[in-house]
Chain A
Amino acid sequence: MYVAVKGGEKAIDNAHALLAEARRGDTSVPELSIAQIREQMRLAVDRVMAEGSLYDPDLAALALKQARGDAVEAIFLLRAYRTTLPRLAVSRPVDTAKMQVRRRISATFKDLPGGQILGPTFDYTHRLLDFTLAAESLETPAAPEAEPPEDAGMPRVVDILGDEGLIEADIPAEPDAVPGDLTREPLEFPAGRDIRLQNLARGDEGFVLGLAYSSQRGFGNTHPFAGEIRVGAVEVEIVPEELGFPITIGRVELTECQMVSQFKGAKDKPAQFTRGYGLTFGHNERKAMAMSIVDRTLRADEFGEERAHPAQDEEFVLSHTDNVEASGFLQHLKLPHYVDFQGELVNVRALRRAATPARLKEIAE
């Protein structure tokens, strides 16, 4: 005799209880606070904000805590929350030339107005585990403070090149142009550059990094030079209708990368460098640089380059960047597929029945 399995409901409740227990871990170890995550796991928080498309360090830290440190799960939590929020206003474009810079480097000029500022970077650390960090409550000595620069101006490297006409002009926005919004419109092809950049900014860091790397290795090379990478805070302004002039509503930290890429020229057009652009919330140079390279590889058509590699294929790239989509679809294979599988079982059994020894022999030969 057989009684069909029931009790999915109970099982789910129990699974959630076990998850909560696992999340907390050993209760003799103090629980993490949101502030601790926000301050000490900041780069994880930054990534969750960037790919979650929501600038809120506390919520991102909460999401990381809830997700047990799983970045993609935390991004998912933040996205699902974001989509329920009302839209109160649309900000003016932020001006990264006015960024309060914490770090700024250029690989194309030895020195330049505003100088090179290393800032907080892993770049020149020797990757040796620092066992002193294992000891808690250790005082961190304050970093020395720099003299304020004589000339506060820090023009963007691409603008310096642009003044000489050495790099293509930024495509001027049409006065009334409204950038597309991926979270409000379905992705369609060909996508404009606005949608492309949005998609890449929200895209999975690992995937975008891999694409950029593939291009560097020759699968759609764009001969990139890191024109400039800057990290720092910019002001966000809105123009309330009732006021008619801009007011500052807050500051966000950004990482911007301007990749100076393969120059182009034609008989009627002197040679110019081309641009690739990357921008992320928070501090994430790897992502911003990778994004700027992929932005440029995807402009292949614009410059009459042959589209022969994955990183140059807009539909391929943009359809597969989103880790919330990818992770969901991949993991839905965990859901029951009894019905489909039964269909295949019926098939395979019928085919095997139909395969007489003679026919099998024929196939084997």
Chain B
Amino acid sequence: MSVALEAEASGYNFAYLDEQTKRMIRRAILKAVAIPGYQVPFAGREMPLPYGWGTGGIQVTAAVIGADDTLKVIDQGADDTTNAVSIRRFFQRTAGVATTTATTDATVIQTRHRIPETPLTEDQILVYQVPIPEPLRWMEARESETRKMHALAEYGVMHVRLYEDIAHMGRIVKSYDYPVRVDGRYIMAPSPIPKFDNPKMDRMAALQLFGAGREKRIYAVPPYTRAESLDFEDHPFEIQSWDDGCALCGAIDSYLDEVVTDDKGGRMMVCSDTDHCDKRRAAGYSGPMAAPYAETPK
């Protein structure tokens, strides 16, 4: 973090970025909303956090957040992973906005790698941090070529990749960052969320914004817009499932993290969405390894 920021946060503009930069980003966002799934190049700024650690998401959040917003930041579904903590602090310090861990209380949610389990509403904006915005990258490394492929909707290679999975392994093995076709037109990288979350993206009530800071791209899925996961008729898209539910709250329909409990093969599965798990336990749900529920110490 920059020297000046440590010393005197109030020396910076609201939410760090200057107003001109925010306007530039808002214009890119508007264009992205107008062309769902299209990657809009934008003049990404150098942020006081490293590239690859959420600079794209931070810039998008900074451009859309207002003084009366309530911000939630999650990484891997959790509010208290170190990078989520660091980004939440950044906005507390530079924007002084209210923050929350409760999905339902947030108006803006910045996320890395997950969509909250609780369905989002029209009053919320979900901001994704994106490392590689180009879904065609692994078949074609050149930006000059991939832009042309998007423009002409030449997407045969995406299915070539899925074909290869099935041919060699009997199933589509892509498990995260699973490509979607937005509004029947652009193929889009949903960021490295597990494919478990892809169905939530489809026709979501909330506005979904994607920021890639290092690659300097912004894209969007407007509310209630189709986002279809690519597949074959005879190998339809499917999501992950587990044999047992969350060891703490007993949920059987949430995405689970695996916790290694000893070096003798001991494992337990817990909700990756910590707020979801907390809320369920507060409501009296319990899994096989749960301690009696207590308010989380602040």
Contacts and interface: CB of A to CB of B under 8 A. Distances in A.
Question: Is chain B's binding surface mostly helix, strand, loop or mixed?
Answer: loop
A41 to B, nearest CB: 18
B272 A66 contact: no
Contacts of A337: 76, 113, 192
B72 to A, nearest CB: 15
A77 B50 contact: no
Interface string A61-76: 0110010000000001
Contact of A339 (B4, B76, B80): B76
Interface stretch (A80-88, A133-141, A143-151): A80-88
Interface string B69-100: 00000011100111111100100000000000
A351 to B, nearest CB: 6
A83 B52 contact: no
Nearest to B278: A4
Contacts of A185: 43
Contacts of B89: 9, 12
B257 A342 contact: yes
Contacts of B255: 339, 342
B175 A340 contact: yes
Interface in B181-204: 192-196
Contacts of A80: 2, 46-48
A335 interface: yes
B46 A183 contact: yes
A80 B192 CA distance: 26
B87 to A, nearest CB: 11
Contacts of A319: 143
Contacts of B53: 328, 332, 335
Contacts of A351: 169-171, 173
Interface stretch (A160-168, A186-194, A239-247, A260-268): A186-194
Interface string B252-268: 00011111010000001
A346 interface: yes
A328 B82 contact: no
Contact of A329 (B51, B86, B261): B51
Interface stretch (B29-37, B227-235, B289-297): B289-297
Given A9-B85, A325-B51, A325-B214, A339 B131 contact: no
A356 B18 CA distance: 60
A3 B270 CA distance: 11
A6 B268 CA distance: 17
A8 interface: yes
B114 interface: yes
B46 A82 contact: yes
A83 B45 contact: yes
Contacts of B240: 342-343, 346
A339 B176 contact: yes
Contact of A346 (B143, B175, B247, B297): B175
Contacts of B177: 340
B277 to A, nearest CB: 8
A1 B3 contact: no
A337 B53 CA distance: 12
B85 A8 contact: yes
B46 A83 contact: yes
Contacts of B113: 337, 339-340
Interface string B110-148: 001110000000000000000100000000001110000
Contacts of B85: 8-9, 12
A350 B144 CA distance: 38
A315 interface: yes
A351 B52 CA distance: 31
Nearest to B267: A345
Contacts of A8: 80-82, 84-85
B42 A186 contact: yes
A196 B45 CA distance: 19
Contact of B52 (A4, A186, A329, A338): A329
B175 A338 contact: no
B259 A2 contact: yes
B62 interface: no
B274 interface: yes
A12 B261 contact: no
Interface string A191-202: 000000000000
A73 B5 CA distance: 16
B28 to A, nearest CB: 10
Contact of B290 (A1, A6, A62, A63): A1
9 contacts: A6-B297, A63-B3, A325-B51, A327-B51, A332-B52, A339-B114, A340-B176, A344-B175, A347-B175
Given A2-B248, A340-B192, A343-B196, 14 more contacts: A1-B290, A6-B297, A7-B80, A62-B3, A80-B46, A83-B46, A189-B144, A325-B214, A328-B53, A340-B175, A344-B175, A346-B175, A350-B171, A351-B170
Q: Name the 3 nearest CB pairs between A and B, nearest first.
A: A328-B51, A332-B52, A343-B175
